Amino acid sequence: MDQPSIDALRAQAVAPRGHFINGEYHSGETGAQMEVLSPIDGQPLTQIADGSLADVDAAVRAARVAFEDGRWSRMAPAGRKNVLLKLADLIESRALELAVLGVRDNGTEINMALKAEAYSAAATFRYYAEAIDKHYGQVAPTSEDVLGLIHHAPVGVVGAIVPWNFPLMIGSWKIAPALAMGNSVVLKPSETASLSLLKIAELAAEAGVPDGVFNVVTGRGAVVGEALALSMDVDIMVFTGSGPTGRRLLEYSARSNLKRCYLELGGKSANIVFADAPDLAEAAKVSAAGIFRNSGQVCVAGSRLLVQQDIYEDFVAEITRHAEAFKVGDPLNLSSQIGAVHSLPELEANLRFVTKAEGEGAERRTGGDRILTETGGYYMAPTVMAGVKETDTLFQSEVFGPVLAVTPFTDEADAIRLANATVYGLAGGVWTANLGRAHRMIAGIRAGVVHVNTYGGADLTVPLGGVGQSGNGHDKSLHALEKYTDLKTAWIKL
């Protein structure tokens, strides 16, 4: 059967969506709804349920009952594996539908959304499904009359809060390993990007995930997120988003049941280019993509470009050329290389950062303006700000938009000092032909991920997590499973 085209999917009306609780859609205790605006044109797209404390309680109660009766938590590993593999197949078969729905909701360019959202989600569920029956406990070295066993037990009910920039990808990083280990999940998507994750919940039920095991409650962070984090029956919280919200989650943990909180927070990643980089033209091209794709709305974006003084002016000119060459436009147009900024408040915040940077002495080399205003959507020209000082707001604060801060440096020591001169430590990059220098920079940069002679693209086989105020814990790789299990010792006298 022929698959619908992008244009046909774009034209489809999106029905209002309720919460997904205990295997069914629910309008919610109050029936209140929130309007969803598409960043493509600023027009209403649909409505979603505006959740309440009662809705969160219902979802958590369903998740707890499902966990305790063992319908999923005590299912044989091979059974859980088969269900999650079927879910991966369903996501892959609906990839274009899911990607277009997500783009209409959050503005990511369709070429990136297909790869980074739908296909990435399918790959993530498949990866953790395959890990289920290969994740063993241990036998401890004890005396000959005692057997010590170390079991990996599911934690219980997982509360997950995910952002709007890559809801399917980041959501899957949390949902898939949590389900793989036998937990139940209550997910709160961003109130401005919930649609694709609600669809995933529906597909999970179709794949055979039992009722109550995977629930989605939509609504505002100050209501739904807070209720989830304060719940005495949620065992751990996993979150990707802003530092202030992460701090509140830790406070809520202390006020409730001391649930563990794993937080992937902000970033202000330094991308460092030395004069001896093996290919400066390639470095400029990749570095431009590393900040401007998805309108800079990427947690690991190389938003601080540190360039060695010897090549500074030439390199800034080259990356400015790349910035000006990007085609910004309708994210559902295959020719668009950069889509929309997610919302009007985000766009306005981006523009204020540019104004602030100029006021602090930075030079705008290109961009910095809202564009394509005739569409009604939220679009911004890729922006290069040169001469940014380490004390400047643009150097220190996460913009989460298509705004690049460029700063010169002198030598390795200066580059490491500048790279570490923020409170963040999520990612970084180094461009050099000197292998010894590359290893010294990897060791010196305080970040969870350091790219060398590339930027971005790390796959599921390696962990992603930050240090400092970029958070704790890791998504991706087998290490992610550690968050969703408790160690239990059995000490058996023989």
Catalytic residue numbers, as ranges: 264
H-helix or E-strand containing 465? none
Q: What's the CA gap between 282 and 380, in Å, rounded?
A: 24
Among 228, 264, 260, 222, smallest CA distance to 243 is for: 264
Could you tell me whether strands 24-26 and 19-21 are parallel, antiparallel, or unpaired per DSSP bridges? antiparallel
What residue type is assigned to position 245 of the chain? T
Q: What are 473's two structure tokens?
A: 């814990």
Contact (CB, 8 A) for 187 and 214: yes
For 447, the token pair is 């970040």
Closest C-alpha to 290, from 277, 278, 305 = 305
- CA-CA distance, 18 to 105, in Å (whole number)? 16
Q: Beta strand 304-308 with 403-409: parallel, antiparallel or unpaired? A: parallel
SS3 sequence of 385-437: EECCCCCCHHHHCCCCCCEEEEEEECCHHHHHHHHCCCCCCCEEEEECCCHHH
CB–CB of 378/346 below 8 Å? yes
Torsion of CA 66, 72, 75, 76, to 10 degrees: -160
Q: Which amino acid is at 42?
A: G
Q: What does 219-280 look like in DSSP terms, one character per residue?
A: S-IIIIIHHHHH-TT--EEEEES-HHHHHHHHHHHHHTT--EEEEE-----EEEE-TT-S-H
Three-state DSSP class for residue 365: strand
Nearest residue to 292 (alpha-carbon basis) of 189, 375, 194, 400 = 400
Q: 72 has which bridge partners? A: none
> For residue 486, what is the enclosing H or E element?
strand 485-493
In 166-258, which residue ranges form alpha helices assigned H by DSSP?
167-180, 195-207, 226-230, 243-255
User: Which residue pairs, CB below 8 angstroms and at least 24 apart, start in 356-360?
Assistant: 356/393, 356/394, 357/385, 357/388, 357/392, 357/393, 357/394, 357/403, 357/405, 358/385, 360/389, 360/392, 360/393, 360/394
